Amino acid sequence: MTPVRTAATPRRVLYRIGRLPDPLSWPPRDYTGGGRFDDPKGEFRVLYTGQRRACFLETLAPFRPSLEALAQIRQRSGRDEEAPRAVVPKDWYQRRAVAGLRLGRGQRWLDLRSAATRETLRSEMADTLLELGLADLDLSGVLGPRRQLTQAIARWAREQGHAGIVYRSRFDERLTLWAIFEGAAFERAGPPQPIVSGDPDLVAAARLFGLGL
């Protein structure tokens, strides 16, 4: 069987948008369990980091109008009426900052971007996939909204000695994100930076989602 692929530890700085006063603190255990690669047993926590623009895409996406709201607008109007423009609230800026970090060397990172990794997981996790009612495992599965699947992958990765998972953004396949498991080694790359409305990555993410700033 082809072994899973591991990603090289990046030399570049990774970023996280998190709550003040410390965006790089591990989330309280009471607030874990809902993230894509959170541990389904709650035994370890996860920091979600990545390329800077990818972080803005991930954090701004919840402000988009829901599918239900969009469908109701279409039903009421009977034509292509534009949805009301959602706005990123002011307190979102005030409560968060952008922090940088560098991952420590010598750690293993499960690379979900690799087709070889996904094929190996398909074999290794066959029983789990069937229990979840899935007929197969492919790229759409590891990026999709099925949290039971992605969290099962995280659990498997941790048990196999990986420090975290590397995966593509579901909003832009050119961008990469890193889920860092609790216990992984990293160092801070300078103090947290405030989020300002003119930030180029913030502006680009808001423009894609049609959000006001």
- In the numeric block, the tokens 């996406």 are attached to 61
* 138 part of a folded domain: yes
- Tell me if the bond preceding 40 is cis, omega within 30° of 0: no
pLDDT band at 13 (very low <50, low <70, confident <90, very high): very high
Given this model, what pLDDT does residue 143 score? 85
Whether residue 63 is predicted with pLDDT greater than 70 in this model: the reply is yes
- Segment 25-55, tens digit of pLDDT: 999 998 889 999 999 999 999 999 999 999 9
Higher pLDDT, 140 or 184: 184
Percent above pLDDT 90 for the chain: 79
Q: Tell me phi and psi for residue 6, to 5 degrees.
A: -110, 140
* 7 part of a folded domain: no
Tally the residues of the chain.
Answer: 213
Average pLDDT of the segment spanning 190-205: 96
Given this model, what pLDDT does residue 72 score? 83
Given this model, what pLDDT does residue 144 score? 81
Could you write out the three-class secondary structure of the chain? Answer: CCCCCECCCCCCCEEEEEECCCCCCCCCHHHCCCCCCCCCCCCCCEEEEECHHHHHHHHHHHHCCCHHHHHHHHHHHCCCCCCCCCECCHHHHHHEEEEEEEECCCCCEEECCCHHHHHHHHHHCHHHHHHCCCCCCCHHHHHCCCHHHHHHHHHHHHHCCCCEEEEECCCCCCCEEEEEECCCCEEECCCCEECCCCCHHHHHHHHHHCCEC
- Residue 171: give the domain boundaries: 14-209
* 187 part of a folded domain: yes
Contact indicator for 67, 83 with CB cutoff of 8 Å = no
Average pLDDT in the chain: 93
* 136 part of a folded domain: yes
Higher pLDDT, 57 or 85: 57
* 3 part of a folded domain: no
* 8 part of a folded domain: no
How many independent structural domains does the chain possess? 1
- Segment 116-156, tens digit of pLDDT: 999 999 999 999 999 999 999 998 889 888 899 999 999 99
